[in-house]
Amino acid sequence: MAYVDDFPTDARIVRWNMAVAFISLGIGGLFGMIQALHRTGIFRGFVSSADYYTVLTGHGVLLALVFTTFALSGLFTWGVTRSLDRPLPSPRFTMGWFALMLLGSIIAAVTILGGLVPSMPFKADVLFTFYAPMQAHPAFYIGLVFFVVGSWLAGVDWFRAYWGWRKDNPGERIPLQTFMVLVTMLMWYISSIGVAVEVLFFLLPWSLGLIEAVDPLLTRTLFWYFGHPVVYFWLMPAYFIWYTVLPKLSGGRLFSDPLARVVFILFLLLSTPVGFHHQYVDPGIPEGFKFIAMTNTMFLLLPSLLTAFTVVASIEHGGRQRGGEGRLGWLRSLPWDEPAFAGCVLAGLMFAAGGFSGMINAGMNINYLIHNTLWVPGHFHLTVGTASALTFMAAGYWLFPQITGNRLRFRSLATIQPYVWFIGMTLMSNAMHRAGLAGVPRRTAEPQYDAVSFQGVVGGISEMRLQIAIGGTILFIGLVLYLIVIFGTWFGGSGNDTLRVNSSLPAPLSGPEHSPKILDNLKLWTAVAIVLIALAYGLPLWALVSDGLLAPGSPPIPV
């Protein structure tokens, strides 16, 4: 029996979420290629340099916010219903949050694209970080509100399914996939309050003309309070796949369920009190609190380092189960021609590199070297653009047959697609990192600054530009291949072929019985997370608002 037979209504919701995710990925990816060609000067015929920022905003919002959140909603709906073995409690409620998120996305996307049509009265060229002093049409913020409230309700839906299960299963450990979903959503509730306050109390009234000015530093701080944890909102669903599906795809079992739980708890505790690492250069935030944020960020490497260990150990176990021997021989016996497996593992390999560039970003002093340069987009195309995006695509290869009941189509395209992505990203991201070190700025349509000569440590600027343009184009090709496979599978019908994916997930080598029960005490961990946030943010926020909510800057505080 496939998932679609057991949970037909939920399978439909998973399909729709994934469909919205991948359509956004297609449009956002097209924008990405246009930018790569434009800013490298290879082809400037698509848009003018003035419209570049509209396209860039569309790219960021559609990919970093819309694609990721819908993919997460699809994966989490699947994971909760599968692991609790019960459908979501109310299909109408489920449709409600899906529709709200979709409506919000459409309003925001149309407002952004209005920037390309001079006769349209609305636009939102504010980039995906949308903080002041840039201002969008009110519709953009209203779209965001719908979108975020929709995501909150999705979490309520998953919690309700869990509470229903809990009533029937008192005293049992929370199934791992549901545990991961609930912890991720708790992290999301705590952190998205920042952006909710920013938008509802400041940006929206300001764009409506109800208040004259906002304090840019305060709104930036509220944004980054949310802006770091949001990256784990993109990463944790990828980890959810690496921990629960990838071991099986490798031919083995998860090495340790307790370690997986510890990792997710660490994310809940540490994702938020680090936001200042995006504001190292902002004046008005006390250096001491930037230092605390840096220290917390370094601790926050731990869950990812633990993940590297646990996931690789699980893959190795799989390789050995498949007959691989010797110190590295197990690598050869892994199913490299299986697109779901290859996608996840290539995503993991790239994330190892992205994690290292993250460590460099996080160092308070080294950050000055790379801040606002092309290094930063290099970093996040390895993280959200590959660790998350390629994993979600890989998960699609495995899930689509289960949620549609159809066999995977165009298998040979699927087999090469993760490698195409990997090659494109290697070219683009590596060159972006190097160009950033040479001082090339991010977020500009005209990065050439003719009076300035950018010196790469190795190689030349024109070679880097070429690599970025070629890499960006290969990535778009990878995306088109993906969409052909996925929508081909969905609409290809089941044919005569009854071949179905074996959808069971094997038990971990070390199960939840090996970990203390306190790990499942979600109230406790949420409380600790809130205390840590109060310590990291209390004083600086108080200083920011003590001279009036709308007054710019903050009086110095003695740290």
The window from 71-79, 186-194, 298-306, 510-518 that contacts ligand HAS (CB under 6 A) reads: 298-306
Please report how close the Cβ of residue 306 comes to ligand HAS at its closest, in angstroms: 8
Is 186 an interacting residue with respect to ligand HAS (CB under 6 A)?
no
Q: Give yes or no: 380 in active site.
A: yes
The window from 190-198, 199-207, 374-382, 474-482 that contacts ligand HAS (CB under 6 A) reads: 374-382
Among the listed residues 95, 103, 149, 312, the single contact to ligand HAS using CB under 6 A: 312
The window from 100-108, 221-229, 400-408, 432-440 that contacts Cu ion (CB under 5 A) reads: 221-229
In angstroms, the CA 137 to CA 122 distance is 6
User: Contact letters (x/-) for ligand HAS, 110-139, by CB under 6 A?
Assistant: -------------------x----------
Closest CB to ligand HAS among residues 96, 324: 324
Torsion angle of C-alpha atoms 490, 495, 499, 504, degrees rounded to 10: 40
Q: Give yes or no: 43 in active site.
A: no
Q: Of the residues 317, 381, 407, 433, which is catalytic?
A: 381
Long-range contacts of 283-291 (CB under 8 A, 24+ apart): 283/217, 283/553, 284/217, 284/544, 284/553, 284/554, 285/217, 285/221, 285/540, 285/554, 286/539, 286/540, 286/543, 286/556, 286/557, 286/559, 287/559, 288/559, 289/536, 289/539, 289/540, 289/559, 290/364, 291/364
Please report how close the Cβ of residue 300 comes to Cu ion at its closest, in angstroms: 9
Is 317 an interacting residue with respect to Cu ion (CB under 5 A)?
no
Residue 467 interaction partner, one of ligand HAS, Cu ion, none, beta carbon < 5-8 Å per kind: none
The window from 178-186, 228-236, 535-543, 546-554 that contacts Cu ion (CB under 5 A) reads: 228-236
Long-range contacts of 153-157 (CB under 8 A, 24+ apart): 153/93, 153/96, 153/97, 153/100, 154/73, 154/76, 154/77, 154/97, 154/98, 154/101, 155/185, 155/188, 155/189, 156/97, 157/77, 157/88, 157/89, 157/90, 157/93, 157/94, 157/97
Please report how close the Cβ of residue 519 comes to Cu ion at its closest, in angstroms: 25
Who's near 491: CB < 8 A, 6+ residues apart? none
Is 307 an interacting residue with respect to ligand HAS (CB under 6 A)?
yes
Is 321 an interacting residue with respect to ligand HAS (CB under 6 A)?
no
Residue pair 4/402 in contact by the 8 Å Cβ criterion: yes
Among the listed residues 124, 183, 235, 479, the single contact to ligand HAS using CB under 6 A: 235
Closest CA to 232 of 290, 303, 289: 303
Closest CB to ligand HAS among residues 164, 335: 335
Residue pair 488/385 in contact by the 8 Å Cβ criterion: no
Q: Of the residues 39, 59, 220, 228, which is catalytic?
A: 228
Among the listed residues 52, 141, 225, 351, the single contact to ligand HAS using CB under 6 A: 351
Q: Give yes or no: 379 in active site.
A: yes
Is 58 an interacting residue with respect to ligand HAS (CB under 6 A)?
no
Residue with the shortest CB distance to ligand HAS: 355
Q: Give yes or no: 443 in active site.
A: yes
Please report how close the Cβ of residue 529 comes to ligand HAS at its closest, in angstroms: 16
Among the listed residues 228, 261, 317, 379, the single contact to Cu ion using CB under 5 A: 228
For every residue of 81-102, DSSP letters joined together read HHHHTS--S-HHHHHHHHHHHH
Size of the site for ligand HAS (CB under 6 A): 37
Closest CA to 112 of 72, 160, 57: 57
Q: Give yes or no: 317 in active site.
A: no
Please report how close the Cβ of residue 400 comes to ligand HAS at its closest, in angstroms: 22
Torsion angle of C-alpha atoms 175, 181, 183, 187, degrees rounded to 10: 180
Residue 355 interaction partner, one of ligand HAS, Cu ion, none, beta carbon < 5-8 Å per kind: ligand HAS
Is 187 an interacting residue with respect to ligand HAS (CB under 6 A)?
no
Q: What angle do CA 353, 356, 362 make, to 5 degrees?
A: 145
Q: Give yes or no: 327 in active site.
A: no
Closest CA to 184 of 263, 88, 274: 263
Q: Using CB atoms within 10 Å of the CB of residue 408, give its burial: 0 to 12 exposed, 13 to 18 middle, 19+ buried.
A: buried
Closest CB to ligand HAS among residues 174, 199: 199
Who's near 120: CB < 8 A, 6+ residues apart? 114
For every residue of 382-404, DSSP letters joined together read HIIIIIIHHHHHHHHHHHHHHHH
Closest CA to 75 of 368, 392, 308, 365: 392
Residue with tokens 């290859």: 342
Q: Give yes or no: 232 in active site.
A: yes
Torsion angle of C-alpha atoms 424, 430, 432, 438, degrees rounded to 10: -150
Residue 304 interaction partner, one of ligand HAS, Cu ion, none, beta carbon < 5-8 Å per kind: ligand HAS
Q: Of the residues 379, 407, 409, 465, which is catalytic?
A: 379
Q: Of the residues 12, 166, 371, 443, which is catalytic?
A: 443
Is 290 an interacting residue with respect to Cu ion (CB under 5 A)?
no
3-state SS record for 412-440: HHHHHHHHHHHHHHHHHHHHHHHHHHCCC
Is 220 an interacting residue with respect to Cu ion (CB under 5 A)?
no
Is 241 an interacting residue with respect to ligand HAS (CB under 6 A)?
no
Residue with the shortest CB distance to Cu ion: 228
Please report how close the Cβ of residue 163 comes to ligand HAS at its closest, in angstroms: 30
Residues of this chain, 435-474, that bind ligand HAS according to CB under 6 A: none
Is 362 an interacting residue with respect to ligand HAS (CB under 6 A)?
yes
Using CA atoms, how far residue 37 sits from 55, 169, 516, in Å, is 12, 56, 53
The window from 71-79, 135-143, 359-367, 548-556 that contacts ligand HAS (CB under 6 A) reads: 359-367
User: What positions carry a catalytic annotation?
Assistant: 228, 232, 379-381, 442-443
- Give me the residues that bind ligand HAS (CB under 6 A), please: 129, 231, 234-235, 242, 277-278, 297, 300-301, 304-305, 307-308, 311-312, 315, 331, 345, 348-349, 351-352, 355, 358-359, 361-362, 367, 371, 376, 379-380, 383-384, 387-388
- Give me the residues that bind Cu ion (CB under 5 A), please: 228
